[in-house]
Amino acid sequence: MARDVDILSYLPPVLHQVKEVVEIANVEKNPLEATWEAIEQSLNNRFILTADEEGLARQEKMLKINVPATDTIETRRFRLLTRYQEQAPYSNSVLKQLLDSLLGENGYVMTRDIAGKKLKVKIELTVKGQFDAVVIMLERITPQNMILTVELRYNQHSLLSQFTHAQLAAFTHKQLREDVLT
């Protein structure tokens, strides 16, 4: 939200009656508002959650992240947030906090097999577009001697049972399995 620049308010009331001064103030208003807007956007670009395309591109360039052209702004923000939240080595509680903050408490299911050195994370379908970013983050922070498996958590029978067969007939098997149904 750019500031409304009112140059006349800075001048003595006597000058408010002079046509030339009023005209100069009106002419200078738009460039000054544009300057304020540029300053505000520059500040917003310093933070991932408020950055625009230019700000996100700058952060991605610094972190050497390759961005597919099809990515949305939200996916790009998510990818940057995952990169900044990485910390290795991790503990189970830190990993749980990290996944909770990124995916939500019910956005994933994590199982660990300490003896078999396996970690399995199933991600809810609602974050399907951010799947790759989660995989990259987990690959970077999990120990190399653990077998990491990351999968999408597909629709379960309990979810599908709330629909009638006529409603489900409108979808293909693949859509029923992999798409978010509402």
Which pLDDT tens digit goes with each residue over 12-25? Answer: 999 888 999 999 99
Residue 34 backbone phi and psi in degrees, to 5: -65, -40
The pLDDT value given to residue 87: 67
- The answer to whether residue 119 is domain-embedded is yes
- The answer to whether residue 71 is domain-embedded is no
Domain range for 21: 7-44
Query: Biggest alpha carbon distance in the chain?
Result: 85
- The answer to whether residue 33 is domain-embedded is yes
Beta strands in 43-146, from DSSP E residues, in sequence order: 108-113, 118-124
The pLDDT value given to residue 82: 84
Examine the domain organization and report whether 140 and 90 are in the same domain.
Answer: yes
- 97 token code pair: 């906090």
User: Do residues 162 and 133 make contact, with C-beta atoms less than 8 angstroms apart?
Assistant: no
pTM of the predicted protein model? 0.54
- The answer to whether residue 77 is domain-embedded is no
> Is the pLDDT confidence value at 179 over 80?
no
Instruction: Assign residue 139 the CATH number of its domain.
Output: 3.30.1340
- The answer to whether residue 24 is domain-embedded is yes
CA distance 148 to 131: 14
Q: Which of 54, 9, 53 is nearest to 32 (CA)?
A: 9
- The answer to whether residue 39 is domain-embedded is yes
CA distance 49 to 169: 40
User: Do residues 61 and 113 make contact, with C-beta atoms less than 8 angstroms apart?
Assistant: no
Question: Based on the structure, what is the number of domains in the chain?
Answer: 2
Examine the domain organization and report whether 40 and 91 are in the same domain.
Answer: no
Average pLDDT of the chain to the nearest whole number: 83
- The answer to whether residue 90 is domain-embedded is yes
Residue 112 backbone phi and psi in degrees, to 5: -120, 140
